[in-house]
């Protein structure tokens, strides 16, 4: 099929006068999500009450929606399940991977990883003790640091600040050759770039649904476990919905079949209803088309900003093949500049210490958004509008 | 204030022709929840986009709603926070408690505990190793099993099957005298019975919001940490929103202030909106009134069923002081009987192997519901309606 991005844009609610370039932080509302959520609340919860778990299919949603996301990341049906938050899923994946490599002690990650992943890993190795260690190197030093002592390589594919993109397939092959397992965080990959989890022989992956996948604030995370590993994994957070027979209420834990064992507690049904509506839009496109369009948009933005705003320094890789679906620029007054942009209806975000971050999401970002954002950014930079008291004040209080 | 339960009932949507006695599994929809959720989706997510985290107060919801629940369980402001699922919160509480008693190895629980709590504890001691042990005794043997080797006493106050209620204050005093810490699961207590966490000197407590607190399917859990312990706790699941400065994106974890450190990942905003609406109803009542009314309802139900249905055996304690807000009866054909009840509009639930479970929730359960449920149950038992093919078939497939 040919993806029709004019059609998909009409399926999102975007407030008047706003150019939204922060869908890599929180995606906008699919128009249909509103009615879908309302129906989940009123028709399902309201009318079916407890019977909704069966009648409305709530119990199967984590696996059903997992498969829908699976299509976007190269995962076979039955290898992705929803639940919890990304941090919890990182913990599960990492703890499960460590247990599959009991004789090795080292988790390797990089300083470009999202800090929460590092916090979770650090907490895990401290709890487990036994000489386990989280080793963190610069992103460009990861490949050389893969050695025979490595238990798990844990990386985020796309750097949340700069958009720098790791070569997943290459690093997975290197890690596997060293006898290690891999855990990939796809927070800025799922729905943003082409991911081929099965093709790259990935062991574990995790991601969130509220960024490019547009599930709304606090939508659940997902976890992928390679089919070849599923039966070997003993889930670290062994909750009742990951049990082989949750409603037998046995006193002993027996892991469920396949990916189901990575479930923990009661899933967030109302949040999942919003995601379900969003995934209907994703069904209209291919990731190859999304990626191609994303590159057109980011290339145009970089060209535009570099021509119009020489005071801003590109923080993202110039080669689109090494970049995710965002573009970042540095400026020492980045926070105040972003406040001024937001005040003029161009919403990106700021990441300390000096990064202005802009996400490009082909489902609803147009070339007109790109040129509009460049024009407003030029106005602000030319007039040093960010230096006005109102933005400096905002910058101080945050 | 005097609690007006006729007024509170009008604030819930209950389908026509239904007597709902399963609010201890999933509470019904507060009428206002529908509009509140819709506003969260359309006015907040839809219009504010990423700025909702500040403008709509999403970021503060876990602590703000935690305080609202705190009032119902005897917890001071700043000692309860929402997030994740109950299983995850059990893990956090238990792991944190174990770390505060590094020289002790035993977690004590009972066979009446909800199995997921035992699965989580079992998974934790297996991960940690070091001779740690989950010891499980019969509920009535707990007090005698508390000894000087005990690290943590982990119990659910109200048994999910029978409604049998532990004497929290007494067991806490005994555990503390032995030098142990306590973790209480309030899944069937919060909004059901009077709980005085601070008065009983509880260390940790956890609970869920979708039962008596009516937050809807998959609503978030909560965790309580005694103020005297908060600064000593190193959270086991150290996620970014439990960090002292989440948006500094430091590479090293520093636990946040007070109860905030028990947060992990991005909270489920849409689910919390439903809970917020429900808590408005809870603000209209006192737990003393709720408890008194609950006892009236459960006593009337027991009297009615015992007079009308001699084939059913009471599984709950007869003394209301030793019982939560549910009543359970045993029958070997319990599953088919419950199917017949549900088909006639009386919704309770079944818990293997032979328990018919009925929850009484004064916010919306009336004395007419009690007499109506008894009448239908008598019809079914007198006519052996549960022996009809349709119910036997349903019983086989589940």
Mean pLDDT within A307-326? 98
Of the pLDDT bands very low, low, confident and very high (cuts 50, 70, 90), residue B385 is confident
Domain ranges of chain B: 33-282, 286-397
Beta bridge partners of A39: none
Are B120 and A87 in contact (CB < 8 Å)? no
Q: Which of these ranges, B243-257, B300-314, B343-357, has the smallest mean pLDDT?
A: B243-257
The fold adopted by the segment(s) A286-397 is 3.90.1150
Instruction: State what percent of residues in chain A have pLDDT above 90.
Output: 91
Q: Which of B25, B88, B208 has the CB atom closest to A88's CB atom?
A: B88
CA B261 to chain centre: 22
Confidence of residue A144 (pLDDT cuts 50, 70, 90): very high
pLDDT, averaged across chain A: 95
* Mean pLDDT across B341-367: 96
Known catalytic membership, residue B247 = no
Residue to substitute from A27, A36, A65, A265, interface B, most B β-carbons within 10 A: A265
- Minimal Cα–Cα distance from A362 to chain B, Å? 17
- pLDDT value of position A395: 58
Mean pLDDT of the region A378-386: 89
Please give the average per-residue pLDDT across B354-381, as a whole number.
Answer: 98
Tell me if B22 and A251 make a contact (CB, 8 A cut-off). no
CA distance B108 to chain A (A): 14
Mean per-residue pLDDT for A84-110?
Answer: 97
- Which residues make Cβ contacts (< 8 Å) with residue B385, sequence separation at least 6? B340, B379, B391
Write down the pLDDT at residue A2. Answer: 87
Integer Cα distance of A187 and A326 in angstroms = 12
Q: Which of A266, A341, A344 to probe by mutation at the B interface, max B CB count within 10 Å?
A: A266
Q: A169 pLDDT exceeds 50?
A: yes
Q: Annotated catalytic, B222?
A: no
What 8-state DSSP symbol labels residue A348?
-
How close is the nearest chain A Cα to the Cα of B236, in Å? 6
Which tokens hold the place of A14?
């975007």
Residue B2 confidence (pLDDT) = 87
The Cα of A347 is separated from the nearest Cα of chain B by a number of Å equal to 8
Q: CB distance B50–A122 less than 8 Å?
A: no
- Asked if the Cβ–Cβ distance from B118 to A251 is below 8 Å, we say yes
| Percent of chain B scoring above 90 in pLDDT | 91
CA distances from residue A251 to A10, A254, B91, B182, B185 in whole angstroms, order as listed: 51, 10, 17, 21, 16
- The DSSP code sequence of B244-300 is SSGGG--SS--B-SGGGGG--S---HHHHHHHHHHHHHHTTS-HHHHHHHHHHHHHH
Examine the residue annotation and report whether B114 is marked as an active-site residue of this protein: yes
Confidence of residue A398 (pLDDT cuts 50, 70, 90): very low
Return the pLDDT at A388: 77
> pLDDT band at B41, cuts 50/70/90?
very high
- Measured between beta carbons, the chain A residues lying within 8 angstroms of B136 are 251
Q: Is A228 left (phi over 0), alpha (psi -120 to 50) or beta?
A: alpha
pLDDT given at position A386: 77
Q: What pLDDT is attached to residue A249? A: 86
In this prediction, residue A44 has a pLDDT band, given cuts at 50, 70 and 90, of very high
Using pLDDT thresholds of 50, 70 and 90, give the confidence band for residue B169. Answer: very high
Half-sphere exposure of A370 (CA within 13 A, CB side): 24
Please, which pLDDT band fits residue B1 given cuts at 50, 70 and 90? low
Which residue in the list B5, B20, B91, B114 is annotated as catalytic?
B114
* B68 is a catalytic site residue: no
**Topology of domain B33-282, CATH:** 3.40.640
Q: Which of B30, B121, B214, B217 is most worth mutating to test chain A (most A CB atoms within 10 A of its CB)?
A: B217
Q: Closest Cα of chain B to A257: distance in Å? A: 16
In chain A, what's the furthest Cα-to-Cα distance? Answer: 69
Contacts of B252 in chain A (CB under 8 A): 122
Average pLDDT on B355-362 reads 98
Q: Which of A116, A236, A361, A364 to mutate to test the interface with B (most CBs of B within 10 A)?
A: A116
Which chain B residues are closer than 8 Å to A44 by Cβ? Answer: 217
Task: Look at B87 and A264 and tell me if their CB atoms are within 8 Å.
Answer: yes
Say which of A5, A12, A20, A114 is annotated catalytic.
Answer: A114
Q: A382 exposed, middle or buried (CB, 10 Å; 0-12, 13-18, 19+)?
A: exposed
Read off the tokens for B132. Answer: 């740690």
Residue B332 has pLDDT above 50, yes or no: yes
Residue A382 has pLDDT above 80, yes or no: yes
Q: Do B15 and A46 touch (CB under 8 A)?
A: yes
Mean pLDDT of B326-341: 95
Q: A132, A357, A364, A391: which one is catalytic? A: A357
Checking if the pLDDT of B398 tops 70, the result is: no
Chain segment B6-15, per-residue pLDDT in tens: 999 999 999 9
DSSP conformational letter for A136 = E
Give the per-residue pLDDT at A1: 66
Is residue B185 annotated as part of the catalytic site, yes or no?
A: yes
pLDDT digits (tens, 9 = 90+) for A251-298: 899 999 999 999 999 999 999 999 999 999 999 999 999 999 999 999
Distance from CA of B132 to the nearest CA of A (A): 12
pLDDT value for B109? 98
pLDDT of residue A78: 98
Residue A385 — pLDDT band, cuts 50, 70, 90? confident
Q: What is the mean pLDDT of chain B?
A: 95
| Strands B326-330, B313-314: pairing kind | antiparallel
Of B49, B128, B251, the CB nearest to A26: B49
Between chain A and chain B, the number of residue pairs with CB atoms below 8 A apart is: 265
- Chain B positions touching A18 (Cβ under 8 A) are 49
Q: Which of A177-181, A228-232, A392-396, B88-92 has the lowest mean pLDDT?
A: A392-396
- Closest residue in A to B270 (Cα) is A271
The band of A248, judged by pLDDT with boundaries at 50, 70 and 90, is: confident
Q: Average the pLDDT over B67-72 and give the result.
A: 98
Q: What is the pLDDT of residue A381?
A: 96
* pLDDT attached to residue A346: 97
Q: Cβ contact (<8 Å) for B88 and A265?
A: yes
Quick check: A346 and A21 in contact, CB under 8 A? yes
Nearest to B49 among A49, A111, A347 (CB): A347
Output the pLDDT for position B352.
Answer: 87
Query: What is the DSSP secondary structure assignment for residue A42, as one 8-state letter?
Result: I
Interchain pair B47, A15: CB under 8 A: yes
CATH architecture of A32-282: 3-Layer(aba) Sandwich (3.40)
pLDDT at A149 over 60: yes
ipTM associated with this complex: 0.96
What pLDDT was estimated at residue B397? 47
Topology agreement, domain B33-282 and domain B286-397: no
């Amino acid at each position: 099929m040919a993806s029709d991005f004019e059609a998909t844009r009409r399926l999102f609610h975007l407030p008047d006068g706003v150019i939204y370039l922060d869908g890599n932080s929180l995606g906008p509302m699919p128009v249909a999500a509103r009615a879908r959520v309302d129906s989940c609340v009123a028709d399902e919860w309201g009318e079916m009450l407890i019977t909704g778990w069966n009648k409305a299919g709530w119990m199967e949603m984590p696996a059903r929606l997992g498969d829908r996301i699976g299509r976007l990341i190269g995962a076979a049906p039955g290898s992705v399940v929803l639940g919890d938050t990304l941090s919890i899923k990182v913990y599960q994946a990492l703890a499960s991977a460590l247990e599959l490599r009991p004789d090795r002690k080292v988790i390797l990650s990089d300083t470009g990883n999202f800090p929460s992943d590092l916090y979770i890993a650090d907490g895990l190795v401290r709890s487990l003790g036994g000489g386990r260690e989280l080793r963190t190197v610069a992103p460009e030093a990861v490949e050389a640091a893969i050695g025979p002592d490595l238990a798990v390589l844990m990386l985020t594919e796309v750097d949340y600040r700069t958009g720098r993109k790791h070569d997943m397939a290459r690093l997975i092959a290197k890690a596997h050759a060293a006898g290690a397992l891999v855990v990939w965080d796809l927070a800025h990959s799922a729905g943003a770039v082409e991911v081929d989890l099965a093709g790259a022989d990935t062991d574990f992956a995790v991601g969130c649904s509220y960024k490019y996948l547009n599930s709304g604030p606090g939508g659940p995370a997902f976890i992928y476990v390679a089919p070849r590993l599923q039966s070997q994994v003993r889930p670290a957070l062994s909750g009742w919905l990951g049990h082989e027979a949750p409603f037998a209420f046995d006193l002993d834990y027996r892991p469920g079949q396949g990916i189901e064992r990575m479930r923990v507690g009661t899933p967030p049904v109302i949040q999942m209803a919003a995601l379900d509506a969003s995934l209907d839009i994703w069904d209209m496109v291919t990731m190859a088309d999304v990626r191609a369009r994303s590159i057109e948009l980011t290339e145009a933005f970089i060209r535009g900003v570099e021509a119009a705003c020489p005071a801003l320094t590109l923080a993202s890789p110039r080669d689109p093949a090494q970049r995710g679906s965002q573009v970042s620029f540095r400026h020492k007054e980045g926070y105040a500049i972003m406040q001024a942009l937001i005040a003029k209806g161009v919403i990106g975000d700021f990441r300390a210490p000096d990064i202005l971050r802009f996400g490009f999401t082909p489902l609803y970002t147009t070339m007109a958004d790109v040129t509009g954002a460049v024009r407003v950014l030029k106005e602000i930079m030319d007039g040093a509008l960010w230096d006005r008291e109102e933005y400096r004040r905002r910058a101080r209080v945050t």
